[in-house]
Structure 1
């Protein structure tokens, strides 16, 4: 059964992108599931103008059409003072028409984050990203408590979603962090397929 899982992220230094790629690998490991990676443009610090609509390199910028056509969503952001980064929030704030139409209602969604320190607000950032998704009527997908990597990790990882403790711009994901990202991708794909099968 074919499903598309949209992975939308903002990444300034590359850590959140690395997580998005691992989630994509989890999605792709499920037969019939496709991972679609998209990012969001920078937001001007002096006005509400955003960057050009087509990036010169890297992932394509997400559109409302991407959201409309997806069967599931993973949303990722670095932690900025215990909250999601402004560029991602700016994009989410543009989805009011989809809220009115109920376009995302009933679709599974998960969240992920990266931060520069152990106590940088990982869990509050994940929770803050869940709130608009719940307003959209999405089905929040967490990490299961019986996942061994969640019990054993000494870096990132929470029941609310994968997290990564970067500390430096070049910090690689730990094996536990990679595993938890992969697990979220698999869960989103499997749930999307189950929901699609229930409709048929």
Structure 2
């Protein structure tokens, strides 16, 4: 039995993509679990990175065993391209295709108080409407008590501060979140 977990994200400058990869490594550290990294289409003419993952399809979302979803902070909310993707999932909502699947969120901002918590909460809304089982990072993770960069009980996060790399704490917490998602998906499957 293999669990396929979708790591769906939008990243304009790379920080959220780096979190997605750390979460994917956490997922794949659990036996019988694999991560599928996917992004979403741009809505404007921003050229983006040439090093992009393929864009997600509604079928991939429907068929996943669990979901990690990430977005940079855009005015305290999830990025418009990610929201646009979710606006196309009415058929999954009507059929109940995502009910009882585990899910988590992750985000990045350029500053410490840039809106990470409100962005994480905004990403939870479509997950709750779809009946998914949402999870964060519990305080049993020791790094959550000591981080001075990113990482919250809402989910993994990164404080870019001029597009710096993920801190050790941010990487550990993203890995732990991916691992928790994978272990939960295995139990539910």
TM-score using structure 1 length: 0.91
The equivalent of 1:175 in structure 2 is 168
Question: 2-side partners of 1:178 and 1:85: how far apart?
Answer: 22
Mapping of 1:97-116 within 5 angstroms? 97-116=91-110
Mapping of 1:60-71 within 5 angstroms? 60-71=54-65
User: Which consecutive unaligned segments of at least 5 residues does structure 1 have?
Assistant: 46-50
Please provide the CA RMSD for this pair.
1.6
Mapping of 1:1-200 within 5 angstroms? 1-44=1-44, 57-169=51-163, 171-196=164-189
SS of residue in 2 equivalent to 1:43: coil
SS of residue in 1 equivalent to 2:37: strand
Number of residue pairs aligned between Structure 1 and Structure 2: 188
User: Which consecutive unaligned segments of at least 5 residues does structure 2 have?
Assistant: none
TM-score using structure 2 length: 0.96
Could you tell me how far 1:56 is from its partner in structure 2?
6.8
SS of residue in 2 equivalent to 1:162: strand
